[in-house]
C-alpha cells in the first residue's frame, strides 16, 4: 500500500480551462495540485478555490515548456508526500499563421509541450493511477479531428493527443484506469491572444470554460473515452467522416483566411508567451 496521498494533478492550471478543471475537481472533493509557470496566478486560483469552501490546492510553479518539467513535477510531488491518482493534461499552446512563416523554434516548442510533455505525464504514474483507480483526462481540441492549414502544427499536435488518448483508453480500461479526451471548440480564454488569433470567435461554437470543464469532468467520471462539448462542435467533428479530407482542409483554410483578415483590420496586439 502506498504511503503517499493521492492527488489530482492539473497542468496549465493558472487560467482558462485548466483553472476551471481545478475548480470542478476540488468541488467534488478531490485534492488538487495545480501546475503552471506563473506562480501569482496559480496562487490566486488556489485562494479562490479555498474561498469557495473546497480544500486549497497545492501550487507547483514549473514551466511546462522545459524538457525536464515532468521530472521536476515528480520531484515536487514526492517532496510533499503526494502521488497522482488522476492526471489532467491541460497545458498547451497554439500559434496562428502559415507554418512556413511562423518561428520554427516556437513551433517545435509547441510539439514539446502539447505532445512530449503530455505523453510523459500520461505514462509516468501508471502504477499510481492503477492503485488509486484513477485516470487521465487529456485536453485535446476540436482541431484534433481536422486538417489545419493556418495552424498546421497545432492541429497536428491535437490530432496526436486525440489518437493517443483513445488508444490509452482501450489499453488501460481493463486495469481500472479511466482515460478521456476532452475536445473543446472555441473557448474565451488567453489561448487566442497568445496564439496571435485576435479576439473574434465564431459565436455559435463558443462555450464558457466552466461548462467545458464540467462536461469534461462528467465524461471522465463516467469512463467515456471522448467528449466534444456543444452540438455545433460535435457536428464539425463529424465532417471528416462525411466529406473528403481535401474538402475539409479547404474549409478550414478559408476560415483561417477570414480570421487573418479580421485580425489584420483590428488594432495590433503584442503576442505574449505561449504557455500557461
CATH of the domain at 119: 3.40.50.720
Reported as a single tens digit per residue, the pLDDT across 234-266 is: 988 887 776 666 666 666 666 666 666 655 543
Domain assignment present for residue 276? The answer is no
Strand 58-61 and strand 82-89: the pairing is: unpaired
Catalytic option among 154, 155, 160, 217 = 154
pLDDT for the residue numbered 203: 60
| Tally of structural domains, the chain | 1
Which cell numbers hold the place of 93?
A: 499552446
| CA atoms lying within 13 Å on the CB side of residue 33 | 22
| E strand segments, 62-148 | 82-89, 135-139
Domain assignment present for residue 221? The answer is yes
Domain that holds residue 44: 5-265
| Closest by CA position to 181, among listed 139, 128, 153, 209 | 139
How many whole angstroms separate alpha carbon 22 and alpha carbon 25? 5
Question: Quick one: average pLDDT of 55-73?
Answer: 97
Using DSSP's 3-state secondary structure scheme, residue 247 falls into: helix
Residue 154 annotated in active site:
yes
Domain assignment present for residue 261? The answer is yes
Reported as a single tens digit per residue, the pLDDT across 117-173 is: 999 999 999 999 999 999 999 999 999 998 888 999 999 999 999 999 999 999 999
pLDDT for the residue numbered 274: 36
Domain assignment present for residue 187? The answer is yes
pLDDT band at 50; cut points 50, 70, 90: very high
C-alpha to C-alpha distances, 261 to 205, 258, 271, nearest whole angstrom: 20, 5, 17
How many whole angstroms separate alpha carbon 31 and alpha carbon 132? 13
Domain assignment present for residue 161? The answer is yes
Domain assignment present for residue 270? The answer is no
Domain assignment present for residue 271? The answer is no
Across the chain, what does the average pLDDT equal?
88
Domain assignment present for residue 45? The answer is yes
Q: Residue 272 above 50 pLDDT?
A: no
pLDDT for the residue numbered 1: 57
Model's pTM, two decimal places? 0.86
Amino acid at each position: 500500500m502506498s504511503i503517499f496521498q493521492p492527488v489530482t494533478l492539473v497542468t496549465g492550471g493558472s487560467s482558462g480551462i485548466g483553472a476551471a478543471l481545478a475548480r470542478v475537481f476540488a468541488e467534488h472533493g478531490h485534492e488538487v495540485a495545480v501546475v503552471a509557470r506563473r506562480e501569482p496566478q496559480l496562487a490566486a486560483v488556489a485562494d479562490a478555490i479555498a474561498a469557495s469552501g473546497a480544500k486549497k490546492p497545492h501550487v507547483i510553479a514549473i514551466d511546462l515548456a522545459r524538457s525536464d518539467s515532468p521530472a521536476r513535477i515528480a520531484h515536487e510531488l514526492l517532496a510533499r508526500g503526494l502521488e497522482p491518482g488522476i492526471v489532467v493534461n491541460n497545458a498547451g499552446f497554439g500559434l496562428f499563421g502559415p507554418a512556413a512563416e511562423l518561428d520554427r523554434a516556437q513551433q517545435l516548442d509547441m510539439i514539446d509541450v502539447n505532445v512530449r510533455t503530455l505523453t510523459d505525464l500520461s505514462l509516468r504514474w501508471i502504477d499510481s493511477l492503477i492503485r488509486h483507480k484513477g485516470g487521465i483526462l487529456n485536453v485535446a481540441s476540436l482541431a484534433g479531428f481536422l486538417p489545419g492549414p493556418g495552424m498546421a502544427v497545432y492541429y497536428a499536435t491535437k490530432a496526436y493527443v486525440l489518437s493517443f488518448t483513445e488508444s490509452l483508453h482501450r489499453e488501460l480500461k481493463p486495469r481500472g484506469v479511466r482515460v478521456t479526451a476532452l475536445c473543446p471548440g472555441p473557448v474565451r480564454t488567453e489561448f487566442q491572444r497568445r496564439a496571435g488569433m485576435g479576439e473574434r470567435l465564431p459565436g455559435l461554437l463558443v462555450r464558457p470554460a466552466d461548462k467545458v470543464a464540467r462536461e469534461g469532468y462528467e465524461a471522465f467520471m463516467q469512463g467515456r473515452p471522448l467528449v466534444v462539448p456543444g452540438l455545433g462542435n460535435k457536428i464539425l467533428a463529424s465532417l471528416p467522416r462525411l466529406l473528403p479530407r481535401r474538402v475539409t482542409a479547404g474549409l478550414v483554410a478559408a476560415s483561417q483566411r477570414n480570421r487573418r483578415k479580421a485580425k489584420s483590420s483590428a488594432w495590433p496586439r503584442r503576442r505574449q508567451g505561449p504557455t500557461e
